[in-house]
A and B are shown apart, each in its own frame.
Chain A
């Protein structure tokens, strides 16, 4: 065990931090949130050029053979600048699934151009009724000749408004809630029968509602085995949760540091308000929660690809709980300690607050992860 960054990791973190500071401070996000796309393809291409998109993919797939934890370190720094380019949907969710399930041809067609920054991807899994239950799926795919016909509706598809290719979870067998019978298809963003409704998010980012009406895809568009997509989907969503913890760490850290700086600077009753013990103790508790978040964020990133699904689930659920409860403590108190200006759109703190709240609700909220954790074998084992 070793908890220090390697030299390469330190260089990576420093270079992303420098990039955020110089090229993507929060002001850039402020401008982009006014645009239809919400992010900048030219910046996406630069991020690909830096090698950040491919850092956690195997070399055979055009990546750099690094580990998920390296990607998590990048995401943490990107979070500090609210960088809106679609790393989580395109790289972590969809990219991860293509790399895990895709044939050589599918990897070449779907993953390679994305890692070069020429395209972006999305994963459509949630439906209006499904909440966090991944198996709950009414979208259906039926065989038509050699290929498939897909119909249904998907909600809250991250980057679904802009993605060139979208992975869609559809039921090829069984009933709405069955664990078996889910399959994964890649559909073109311009496919006939696909309607994309752009949905503005609280955090200033965009998602999409997708309506699929008899969308036709060829047999070569099925990823992995027919009817067996759930374990890979669970894996991808867990990595999404680990990624949310990583990006969220950047926002938590930023909120925490900005609050401490403000406590030193803001004068009331002729003294800096940070000299008041009530506020000092609040800040100390914020520090503790920030450090606890950092601990579980690292654990989640390290275990995101763990062989044993139970270990992976336990570590990721613990991290997601900490992001959601501990992170919440930091963000609500950040706004509280900033006082009135904390609720103005002009201050950046509110933007961090909102992005964090979105990340907390993605990939399972606190109650979901507590319930999942207590259902793991290791929780009951008398050991």
Chain B
């Protein structure tokens, strides 16, 4: 066990820090200093800058376009991007379907999809949940029937995050309804923009943004070559992908950013002759959360370190999701509390009433209610821990 940095790693940190400062476009940098609420176009702009630099996929193997960095360099890179407030990249391609294809995709699939995930030419979204298949995901009912060399898809997906910007969607579809519900599911990739019969309808969240969409499939034809893994073997794909997802979904970077934001707002908020940041009880609330985040960060580093040694992120990554999303919510609650009356404001409040860079705080706070729900609700994560790790008996 060792946590020291070599001179080479320290130099690497300096290189990353300096590069980010000159690479971040000024309009993104301005937002990075505020609540860091980025438009999709800005996220993709940053994606392409990272791609051009060759730093877009630190966690991918080098042969398929990753950086070839070890866990320490990836950690340093992650810390520096958070420190600078860089936009968080869309995880669906880079963090989910990409690693899944690397693990289970055919040579043709890898060649077809991976380069465009890296370049940002193709944006991905996730088609898992359905109106009647939320926590009980395996009861999903989007049908995929074989017809010639195609699958014909019929049904509806929901909570398809940012599907309105996506070029491709990965879906779990029902290919067999006769046996156990987990055993009749297939993992399929579909072209959202060019497949007749696929319709995307974004809906407004309590955060005031269109973060999620509903996606309909009406006789949408997708070639069978877009299947990942065996037919009726999609549940195993879904579980493997969830492992990848959970290592990201804890939002440690976001929580760090928000704790920094809470401090900045507190520092700029007068309380009598001092500031809110001088208030002992407020400081201690921040301190407690920052220390708990440190504990979680260590769990994440150990999970990633294990994954690097060739072990896939297992069910223990559930606690990253479980604890991480709770910290995320508490961090945003601290930002809200720091704002006092300003927390009443909204995205379109006039800047003289609410400084522009604070306008997204309340939106973020509301959006983050979803964090303990998405990716398998935290109650489902507890079920996973109880059954898969602790092996507790089923009722």
Contact = CB atoms under 8 A, between A and B. Distances in A.
Contacts of A2: 1-2, 305
A6 B1 CA distance: 7
Contact of B395 (A263, A277, A303): A277
Contacts of A69: 1
Interface stretch (A21-29, A121-129, A287-295): A287-295
Interface string B339-352: 00000000000000
B264 interface: yes
Contacts of A370: 284, 287-288, 291
B301 A291 contact: no
Interface string A307-323: 00000001101110110
A271 interface: yes
Contacts of B306: 3-4
A260 interface: yes
B383 interface: yes
A318 B283 CA distance: 15
B116 interface: no
A interface, size bucket: 35 or more
Given A276-B395, A280-B383, A371-B284, A288 B322 contact: yes
A374 B323 contact: no
Given A281-B386, A317-B291, A260 B392 contact: yes
A357 B296 CA distance: 23
A264 interface: yes
Contacts of A287: 319, 385, 389-390
B305 A1 contact: yes
B45 to A, nearest CB: 25
Question: Which interface residue of A5, A285, A383 has the most chain B CB atoms within 10 A?
Answer: A285
Contacts of B382: 280-281, 284-285
17 contacts: A3-B302, A4-B306, A275-B394, A280-B382, A280-B392, A284-B386, A288-B319, A288-B385, A291-B319, A292-B299, A294-B299, A298-B1, A321-B292, A322-B291, A370-B287, A374-B283, A382-B264
A240 interface: no
Interface residues of B, number: 52
A380 B278 CA distance: 10
B154 interface: no
A303 B5 CA distance: 13
B277 to A, nearest CB: 8
B107 interface: no
The 6 closest A-B pairs by CB, nearest first: A295-B298, A280-B386, A284-B385, A284-B382, A374-B287, A318-B291
A102 interface: no
A64 interface: no
Interface string B286-298: 1110111011111
Nearest to A381: B263
Contact of B309 (A4, A271, A275, A369): A4
A318 B294 contact: yes
A321 B291 contact: yes
B288 A321 contact: yes
Interface in B340-385: 379, 381-383, 385
A4 B306 CA distance: 8
A322 to B, nearest CB: 5
Nearest to A292: B295
Contacts of B148: none
Contacts of B390: 260, 274, 280, 283-284, 287
Contacts of A284: 318, 322, 381-383, 385-386, 390
B288 A291 contact: no
A264 B287 contact: no
B188 to A, nearest CB: 32
Contacts of A108: none
B383 A295 contact: no
A271 B393 contact: yes
B75 interface: yes
A285 B389 CA distance: 12
Contact of B284 (A276, A285, A374, A382): A374
Contact of A3 (B267, B305, B386): B305
A299 interface: yes
B392 A295 contact: no
B225 interface: no
Contacts of A328: none
Interface string B256-298: 0000000110010000000001001001101110111011111
A291 B316 contact: yes
A264 B319 contact: no
Interface string B142-177: 000000000000000000000000000000000000
A148 B302 CA distance: 51
B201 interface: no
A1 B71 contact: yes
B83 interface: yes
B72 interface: yes
A132 to B, nearest CB: 16
Question: Which interface residue of A272, A287, A294 has the most chain B CB atoms within 10 A?
Answer: A287
Contact of B302 (A274, A295, A315): A295
Given A296-B295, A322-B295, A382-B264, A3 B301 contact: yes
